[in-house]
Amino acid sequence: MEQIGAVLADVYTPLLIAGCITLLIKQYRQSASWRCTLLSVLACAGAYVFMLLDEALSIWPSFGADYSTHTAIAVALVCIIVCMLPAWPLPRRLHTAWRWLTVGSLVAYMVLMKLMHYHTFLDMVTTVLVMLPWLLLTWRRGLVQSKA
């Protein structure tokens, strides 16, 4: 059972990356590609910026936790997918279903990481709390500017 969990944990991020690439290709066909690509890179870069800050300042160790780069990247990729889903010509109900499925997969991934003893819930929740403002700022600003 532990081997299955390890395999699932190992393939989750590549599957998210494949989903993001698929959506970016769709955006290329709709001429919004450069903005979506830049926003995607910025979203993922934030995960590594926070990792470097944690390494330099020992933020998470100061309260007995560990910054979860796995969670940070997964949250960034899930946000990219959720924000870019409207590019698909699907009925609104399917967009909503895909969004919930994507977010649900992230929650399942976090539970799996806890069960596999990769991270604690404290590690993952604090990482999400740090990443979400970055992601909201990045995507909201980028999407508002693209509509202007």
What is the pTM for the complete model shown? 0.88
Evaluated on CA atoms 79, 85, 86, 91, the torsion sign reads: negative
For residue 35, tell me if it sits in a domain. yes
- Distance from CA of residue 31 to its chain's centroid? 23
Using one digit for the tens of pLDDT, what is the confidence trace for 64-87? Answer: 999 999 999 999 999 988 888 776
pLDDT at 109: 97
Per-residue pLDDT band at 144 (split at 50, 70, 90) = very low
118 pLDDT higher than 50: yes
Using one digit for the tens of pLDDT, what is the confidence trace for 34-70? Answer: 777 888 889 899 999 999 999 999 999 999 999 999 9
Within 10 angstroms of residue 39's Cβ, the number of other Cβ atoms is 22
For residue 6, tell me if it sits in a domain. yes
Total of domains in the chain: 1
139 pLDDT higher than 70: yes
9 within 8 A of 2, measured Cβ to Cβ: no
5 within 8 A of 111, measured Cβ to Cβ: no
For residue 33, tell me if it sits in a domain. yes
pLDDT at 148: 45
For residue 53, tell me if it sits in a domain. yes
For residue 148, tell me if it sits in a domain. no
Average pLDDT over residues 2-29: 87
Using one digit for the tens of pLDDT, what is the confidence trace for 96-109? Answer: 888 899 999 999 99
pLDDT at 141: 63
Range of the domain at 75: 2-143
